[in-house]
Amino acid sequence: MKTSTADKVYIPYIALFLSILCAFASPSVFAEAKKDTSPSWLSDWEAAGDDERISAECRQHKSKINQCKFVTRSDVSLESLTAVIMDVNKFTEWAVSVSRSERVFQEKDPEKVYVYTNYDFVGAYDRDAVTLYTPEYDESKKRVRVTFQTVDKDVPKEDLRLVRFPLMAGYWQFTKLPTGKTEIELLSFTMPGGVVQKTLYYLYNRAYVDASFDTIRALEKQAQKPRYGQFNIAALNLE
């Protein structure tokens, strides 16, 4: 367990906050990529990053933290990508900075997936979160969307020094295209809190985009493992 005397983040490590992207739980979080006149947002959507394959656009929240949307096309199947996201106990294999991920509350609500996650950071306090993952399948559009949102659930901390993420939400979306490829879409809005949010938001916003690119690439690589090749969407009981 790493400790720090101040909740500060050095530039090389800001990206470690972004392995499982998170957001405020409000309807505007899931708004489509179009102009929003809501006072919650200080800017319209604008292109961001310089990845050749993954497009990104962001808008700035009144907190000065950016919400971003990422889109790319992949040769990996919708089924395999979905399987990785729903295999929540294996986040440690591909999600940067995740040191523990465990499904909880299975007996209380089997149709919803609650996950307790620990995050190890260099240069800042380590954190944890309890997150609800909810998959939806639209057969007519050949699309799966998995929303994620932090919830107020009483899960004991692995270490009392862990700082619980206050609020998180977003979604992964996978759409099967006529070409045989899969469109991957990630919408996320991460509020880190602490000194990072108060004074380092500019550096954080820049690192956020690059870390999201890394997250999508890691997801694709994980989905190519043999154990995800036989996943059936019908197993989610979403139809």
The model's pLDDT over 103-122, given as tens digits with 9 standing for 90+, comes to: 998 766 667 899 999 887 66
Judged on CB neighbours under 10 Å (0-12, 13-18, 19+), 27 is: exposed
Burial of 71 (0-12, 13-18, 19+ CB in 10 A): middle
Go through the chain and tell me how many residues it has. 239
Among 205, 164, 211, 194, CA closest to 16: 211
Q: What is the pLDDT of residue 15?
A: 44
Q: What is the pLDDT of residues 41-94, one digit of tens each?
A: 999 999 999 999 999 999 998 888 889 999 999 999 999 999 999 999 999 999
- pTM equals 0.80
Which CATH superfamily is 13-31+38-228 part of? START domain (3.30.530.20)
Structure-token pair, residue 123: 């240069």
pLDDT of 170 reads 93
Strands 143-150 and 169-176: antiparallel
Q: Quick check: helix, strand or coil at residue 109?
A: coil
Higher pLDDT, 165 or 93: 93
Q: For residue range 187-209, what is the model confidence (pLDDT) as tens digits? A: 998 776 666 677 878 887 888 89
Whether the CB-CB separation of 90 and 182 falls below 8 Å is answered with: no
* Half-sphere exposure in the Cβ direction for 29 (13 Å, CA): 22
